[in-house]
């Protein structure tokens, strides 16, 4: 059966795309549209042509299964041009989403009608690309240069109603889309309206001078930092304003190819597929039965517990909040309410919806009340004894088959599971703070966690709009285990002569949202100090006074970071802007002198390699040990949980970009010059193996 068909209703030809699930622009779809369009134009009984889609959406974009493969004719720009050049009126009837090439197809038609519930957009920038089938040339002609720039550079879809207000949609209807499109076509045929080509519209280019484009660049500078595609989008849209349509298309094509060849786009496309791959677990069938999760309980009403609970309540799932007393729960729910109130102020929800969602939270102080919970997530302080005590209580209180999850960020999930009589039902669900916002969810699979429980949690992650990545059990799992070396080298380098602000700026310029020392101030130096104390008590800390020395000194001085107005930096009252502190510089110099460390100038290049290469080295060990299934899983964790720049793909993809052999050689050099016998820079066997064979982590 063809994925594109032509039918006729009176004098209106109807081309229907039926390529489930999202009517992606596969070769068969492109070929089918061109073929049906030619057939309709050759039929004298047809006077206008409506392009519609079956199923739940209009054309939602490119066919991702064709990514990275040679394209076959007809190419998408040719399909769009065929619709635009049709001698008979063409209409796009849009429902669901018309994104990327789907929206470009619609803009190629002479007229556009949409359900009011539909959305349109050009999200190519999210893959490091720009629209390559005339989107940068047609959209400015439809809605003007300023709005087109904002829409294409953001990549965010807009409602059909908004698109209509801007001029991209000609008519919207509440329902009966095909009937509305046919009526629209009849109306214009009756008036003998000629084809209306978007390409014929003229933009008054003199309205948009150098200052206009420079101001737009400044307005997006923070979000576009480090990205390649936004500047090419600006140049393409400017071409629409200043060049004839045909020349503008050529300019768009050249800029599209520049983007396609960029490391940024390769990294973003890699991340796109990596996120989807992360949900596939080789030894757990996708169709394994999963458990229903209709009632959730969260142990701990603190910031983390409240944020976790919001993920479920926002979907209409009732949540029990458990803590020692009503006062603690009330304090936690007050923070939750404030979070939702921000959503009301931003128009994301109404006041009535806020009250409805708050009604889904049930305060609980007695574990016996958790007997109906399908999923319980423990989110208390990182203390093994406390967590084991709680899981013993949950084992006694919860029904058979309930999933018992710990939000631990570092501790042994198997040891926690052993505190119950049902280790097969225990799993780690490591949310990242703020838990109601951060996309990453590390799903920690214990040695006895059942496949059913694992698959349930993988699907649940998607349901609550998280990117779930499965990790094995080890200290810190994937992300926090790797983080140790990142912070270690930042602490070492300030002792060796690098300025606090220099370390942070070098990594900020690399693409991190904040440098590691500023992050410590934000998270709380006291939090890290307590974790180090517990690790030392457990004998899980290197015998090296340098490791953690400066943050521990700051902790003992009561400098906890932003919360106390002083940490690695100082903060003016009420401000979160870090300012270099001479007292900290003096403290560092004093400790370096005491330890006999000769301070020197350290380059930004060394700062980046010494902080980032430990991530790669530890990632290699994590792969060897089977803690992570794939290098791409590690990259998904670091991009979504730790702010590693998406346009660099993640630590393991970045290693391949730099060259695994170069990374290995640099690590060996640091081992020989910096290690002092502690083994920090001993290269992982997998890293050495790949370097010697010319291999890659992600190839």
Active site residues: 104, 124
ω into residue 668 within 30 of 0, thus cis?
Answer: no
Question: How far apart are alpha carbons 112 and 172 in whole angstroms?
Answer: 9
Cβ neighbours of residue 265 under 8 Å, at least 6 residues apart?
Answer: 127, 128, 129, 228, 229, 259
- Of the candidates 109, 139, 108, the residue with the CA atom closest to the CA atom of residue 121: 139
Question: How far apart are alpha carbons 370 and 116 in whole angstroms?
Answer: 43
Produce one character per residue of 375-398: b if its CB has 16 or more CB atoms within 10 Å, e if not: bbbbbbeeebeebbebbebbbebb
Q: What are phi and psi of 396, to 5 degrees?
A: -80, -30
Strand bridging mode 440-444 / 426-431: antiparallel
Strand bridging mode 296-299 / 319-322: parallel
Using only the alpha carbons of the chain, give its radius of gyration.
Answer: 29
- Of the candidates 297, 461, 442, the residue with the CA atom closest to the CA atom of residue 374: 297
- Of the candidates 692, 683, 271, the residue with the CA atom closest to the CA atom of residue 485: 683
Q: Residue 285, by phi and psi: left (phi above 0), alpha (psi -120 to 50) or beta?
A: beta
In whole angstroms, how far apart are CA 254 and each of 46, 131, 132?
A: 38, 12, 9
Neighbours of 656 (CB within 10 A): 22
Cβ neighbours of residue 582 under 8 Å, at least 6 residues apart?
Answer: none
Cβ neighbours of residue 503 under 8 Å, at least 6 residues apart?
Answer: 490, 493, 494, 515, 516, 517, 607, 611
Bridge partners of residue 181, in order along the sequence: none
Cα torsion 346, 351, 357, 358 to 10°: value is 110
The residue to which tokens 């799993």 are assigned? 427
Q: Which two tokens stand for residue 14?
A: 């109807």
H helices, E strands: number in the chain: 28, 19
Q: Which spans in 435-581 are helix H?
A: 451-463, 479-496, 500-510, 516-523, 525-537, 549-556
Question: How far apart are alpha carbons 431 and 442 in whole angstroms?
Answer: 7
3-class DSSP state of 469 = strand
Cβ neighbours of residue 89 under 8 Å, at least 6 residues apart?
Answer: 47, 48, 49, 110, 111, 185, 188, 189, 193, 195, 196
Decide if 269 contacts 128 (C-beta within 8 A): yes
Q: What is the DSSP letter of 458?
A: H
């Amino acid at each position: 059966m063809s994925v594109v068909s032509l039918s006729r209703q009176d004098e209106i030809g109807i081309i229907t795309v039926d390529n489930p699930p999202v009517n992606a622009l596969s070769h068969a779809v492109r070929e089918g549209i061109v073929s049906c369009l030619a057939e309709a134009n050759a039929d004298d009984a047809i006077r206008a042509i409506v392009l519609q889609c079956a199923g739940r959406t209009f054309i939602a974009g490119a066919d991702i299964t064709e990514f990275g493969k040679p394209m076959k004719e007809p190419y998408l720009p040719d399909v769009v041009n065929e619709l635009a050049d049709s001698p008979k009126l063409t209409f796009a009837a849009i429902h669901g989403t018309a994104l990327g090439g789907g929206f470009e197809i619609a803009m190629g038609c002479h007229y556009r009608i949409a359900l009011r519930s539909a959305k349109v957009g050009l999200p190519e920038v999210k893959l490091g690309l720009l629209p390559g089938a005339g989107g940068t040339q047609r959209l400015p002609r439809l809605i003007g240069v300023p709005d087109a720039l904002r829409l294409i550079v953001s990549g965010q879809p807009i409602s059909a109603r908004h698109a209509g207000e801007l001029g991209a949609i000609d008519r919207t209807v509440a329902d009966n889309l095909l009937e509305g499109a046919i009526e629209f076509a009849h109306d214009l045929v009756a008036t003998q309206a000629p084809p209306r080509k978007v390409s014929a519209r003229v933009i008054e280019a003199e309205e948009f001078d150098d200052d206009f484009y420079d101001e737009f660049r400044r307005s997006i500078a923070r979000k576009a930092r480090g990205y390649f595609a936004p500047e090419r989008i600006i140049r393409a849209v400017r071409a629409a304003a200043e060049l004839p349509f045909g020349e503008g298309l050529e300019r768009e094509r050249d800029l599209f190819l520049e983007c396609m060849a960029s490391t940024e786009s390769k990294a973003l496309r890699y991340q796109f597929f990596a996120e989807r791959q992360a949900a596939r677990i080789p030894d757990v069938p996708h169709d394994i039965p999963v458990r229903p999760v209709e009632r959730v309980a969260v142990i701990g009403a603190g910031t983390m517990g409240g944020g976790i609970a919001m993920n479920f309540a926002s979907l209409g799932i009732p949540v029990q909040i458990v803590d020692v007393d009503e006062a603690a729960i009330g304090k936690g729910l007050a923070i939750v309410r404030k979070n939702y109130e921000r959503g009301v102020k931003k128009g994301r929800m109404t006041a009535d919806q806020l009250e409805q969602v708050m009604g889904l939270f049930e305060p609980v102080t007695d574990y016996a009340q958790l007997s109906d919970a399908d999923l319980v997530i423990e989110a208390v302080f990182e203390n093994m004894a406390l967590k084991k005590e709680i899981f013993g209580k949950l084992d006694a209180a919860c029904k058979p088959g309930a999933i018992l999850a710990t939000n631990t960020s570092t501790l042994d999930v198997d040891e926690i599971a052993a505190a119950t009589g049902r280790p097969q039902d225990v799993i780690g669900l490591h949310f990242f703070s703020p838990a109601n916002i951060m996309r990453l969810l590390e799903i920690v699979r214990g040695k006895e966690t059942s496949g059913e429980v694992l698959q349930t949690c993988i699907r649940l992650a998607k349901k609550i709009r998280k990117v779930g990545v499965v990790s094995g059990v080890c200290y810190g799992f994937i992300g926090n285990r790797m983080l140790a070396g990142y912070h270690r080298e930042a602490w070492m380098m300030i002792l060796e002569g690098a300025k606090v602000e220099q370390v942070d700026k070098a990594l900020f310029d690399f693409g991190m949202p904040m440098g590691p020392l500023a992050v410590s101030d934000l998270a709380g130096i006291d939090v890290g100090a307590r974790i180090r104390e517990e690790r030392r008590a457990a004998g899980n800390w290197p015998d090296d006074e340098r490791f953690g020395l400066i943050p521990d000194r700051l902790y003992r001085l009561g400098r906890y970071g932003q919360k106390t107005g002083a940490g690695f930096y100082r903060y003016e009252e009420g401000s979160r802007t870090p300012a270099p502190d001479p007292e900290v510089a003096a403290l560092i110099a004093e400790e370096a002198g005491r330890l006999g460390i000769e301070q020197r100038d350290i380059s930004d290049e060394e700062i980046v390699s010494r902080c980032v290469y430990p991530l790669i080295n530890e990632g290699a060990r994590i792969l060897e040990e089977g803690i992570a299934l794939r290098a791409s899983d590690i990259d998904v964790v670091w991009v979504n949980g730790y702010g590693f720049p998406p346009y660099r793909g993640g630590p393991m993809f970045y290693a391949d970009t730099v060259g695994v052999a170069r990374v290995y050689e640099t690590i060996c050099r640091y081992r020989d010059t910096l290690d002092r016998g502690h083994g920090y820079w001993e290269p992982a066997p997998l890293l050495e193996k790949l370097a010697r064979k010319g291999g890659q982590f992600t190839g």
